[in-house]
Amino acid sequence: MPYNCRHCGGTYCADHRLPENHSCSGLENWNDPSGVFDSGFDDSVQAGSSGTSKSVGSRALDALPIDTGPGGPLAYFRGNMTYTFLALMWLTMAAQFLAYAVGGVGLHDYLFTLSLANPEHVWTWITSIFAHSPFFMPLPETTIFHIIFNSIVIFFFGPLVERYTGSRDFAILFIVSGVLAGLGQLAAVVVFGDPTFGASVLGASGAALAILGVVTVLNPDLRVYFFFVIEMPIKYLTIGTAIISALLIVIGAPGGLGIAHGAHLVGLLVGVAYGEYLKRNKNIRTPNQLQMGPGGPGGPGGPGGPGGRRRF
């Protein structure tokens, strides 16, 4: 008689129905050093406990001088890198405001903008992932919708990917895809475009599209709704995004409409490659339907948002 695992969704015989007997991907999400689902108390929920396997997010939260246990104000973020990254994006926006207030555009770009003029500023390889078009700066093309659109995509798809990869691997995917996407945009400008247009990047769309690519590979027929109205398989959103980005890069507009199309394409390719790896090495099943709001893939301007300075 077949049994369905409620952690990964796979179907197994009686001998392999338990998570620890079929290499269940859900095992990676448990703070259990023995790798077995048991009924014992897991003391890893206590901040500062030792001798326990913890996720990247849990270890980071343990370092904060705030109660991050089950009843603490930050308990929601423990072992949850998707929402931790979302929080970091909005906190970075506040830091952008402070940098601009103290040192103007120069200090802001020095700290947060990955630029073709200064690629050796390696800290911006990371900070640019979490920074977004600073709507508070007196520039008509900047808008808060940039970070809102990226947040929506990550909010809907991030938990789905993190559930099957585990928090540590999800964090690696997010950072690596974001860095490669930013550098890919600069490379696209050098090879195909005008170096004065699209030569600086901000935003998490490279990482967001990597997440989208993973979901597309694992379940290409996943039904999604963007704008809560139009239904279609996720593969069409992904293919459409890839085609538009590739065409604009080839015609010499990798920063066309203020969107970093090179970053979009690189992030998507990283996600597709990682999705193929997961598909070949893990038994993963995804849901059949997911609802998205405005600003999701296929929304105005794509995940990077409409118009504005170079962003992704």
Class of domain 80-281: mainly alpha
β-pair type (223-226, 289-291):
parallel
- How far apart, in Å, are the Cα atoms of 228 and each of 29, 208, 231, 294? 30, 19, 8, 7
The predicted structure's pLDDT at residue 96: 93
Question: Scanning the structure block, which residue is given the tokens 């890893």?
Answer: 44
Tracing tokens 């974001």 back to the chain, one arrives at: 178
Determine the pLDDT at residue 81.
Answer: 92
Digit-by-digit pLDDT tens for the chain (312 residues) are 566 676 666 677 777 778 777 777 666 655 544 444 444 444 444 444 444 445 555 555 565 555 555 555 566 566 789 999 999 999 999 999 999 999 988 999 999 999 998 999 999 999 999 999 876 655 544 567 889 889 989 998 999 899 888 899 999 999 999 999 999 999 999 998 776 666 889 999 999 999 999 999 998 988 887 666 778 889 998 999 899 999 999 888 888 777 889 999 999 999 999 999 998 887 666 555 554 433 333 333 333 332 233 444
Domain boundaries, the chain: 80-281
C-alpha distances (whole Å) from 66 to each of 54, 83, 113, 202, 225 are 18, 17, 31, 30, 38
How far lies 24's CA from each of 28, 211, 292, in Å?
8, 21, 28
Q: Give the β-pairing of 114-115 and 289-291.
A: unpaired
| pLDDT recorded at residue 294 | 35
- pLDDT for 5 equals 73
pLDDT at 39: 43
Give residues with Cβ within 8 angstroms of 283, minimum separation 6. Answer: 8, 10, 22, 23, 25
| pLDDT for the residue numbered 282 | 74
What pLDDT was estimated at residue 303? 35
The pLDDT, as a whole number, for residue 146 is: 85
Question: Would you state the pLDDT for residue 164?
Answer: 83
